[in-house]
Structure 1
């Protein structure tokens, strides 16, 4: 198909209530539209059939939370802020690629619309700054990732045989179905990031460190209807990483940046990895940024 077009109304609503000075509760709802991409509708390799008649994706996102900001919490000139939120995202007609094991189509992959793809979870963000000392902490906990596709699930049940039992394939499954990119893109169940540091010489020198933790994926996609000949989920392991950084203001518009990443030289796969290529080991980076 040489051209494709579409459109829709994508509203966004929100309410923010100040229950105490600088303390708020809020709720927001947004919709979005994404047209099928060139990658999803064109022929790249012989084994992948481009999607035909693909519908645009339609997203609906809810977020409910609370936030507060305080000054003079521990010291006269400090500030502290924290926000906790619940999110629930649903994408109708989510576009993904499947591996089709149906007789006569063995090995063929095609793009199609699922019924929906859903995620939900909790987010925490916090910040403390006292001039000389600062710290940021954030974390995300996923409650669910789920794909629903009654048409493809029916195809899998129909292709069940004595060598591969797919008779109990559900219409909705955590993660996704066989050959789907959603299996490899399953986010960590829990992730957290702590950054803290010190400022010296009238804040011209900043030194600090960062600790990052990520667990394994939200779900392990290892059921018969989730595993196939291609695009298997790489079950990355939990990992804790530590970095050091330095920023020094040499002149008004010139800064020196130094970072030492993966301080303990951990051997690991990045979350959402799609190959067995490990992440970089201990890495030192030095750079100078100037504006003129």
Structure 2
């Protein structure tokens, strides 16, 4: 009887080589580098250049533009007006947008889709067209003043245009969806059984909202507030068309330095100065909100 044949060894497939993980984010890094970091670096370098009357900037380097900004009370007034407008717009959009987002997240009505369309409708119209519409609404004989006069609330027209008031109203309308959409996604991600458990333990609707729902929605509030604040203080079209000299913001001032006065190094220094202030405020806000969220139950 013949001996059994020895088993033939099978070839072991070589393991596939895996690409490094960073290859997946390489396209995003290239885009950020080309369209964000390089322009910022160019602006930063230009802010230290000497001014010139026959070119964009002169050959030398100087810190004089930043010194001029820091010691100019007019610039600090514009900075304060810009930050104040951004803060008011952020708080107003949060107060107006949270109830809408909460209703959309909890509603099962067929009208919820219509409300969602109304929320995103400002994004479907061009910014210039929306601003022209606010020019008509907020004029002395416009819809807003006419309605207030008809209701007997005012005797003389309110000056909405060429002031920070008109700019603030228009920016709230423009950026309201940027608060509602992050909040909506956050509220929809909250497990409804958590609120049901709180109600089953005897908590009222108000106590459940303030002790459960509101703390769990803090990430959406944080993201929406940062988004609206950054967009509102960097907005140009709306303040330029509605603000006039009394509602001028830093974005308008920077463009005036660059285009009207042809002072590119000074305008670049203004832009870097405002960007540094914005980053500092956001950093402090993130630290404070992160600490507050850690203390929540």
Q: Same fold (TM over 0.5)?
A: no
Q: Which TM-score band applies after superposition, normalised by the shorter structure?
A: under 0.3
- Greater CA radius of gyration, 1 or 2? 2
TM-score w.r.t. the length of structure 2 is 0.24
Higher relative strand content: 1
Specify which structure has the bigger relative contact order, considering alpha-carbon pairs within 8 angstroms and separated by 6 or more residues. 2
Higher relative helix content: 2
TM-score w.r.t. the length of structure 1 is 0.24
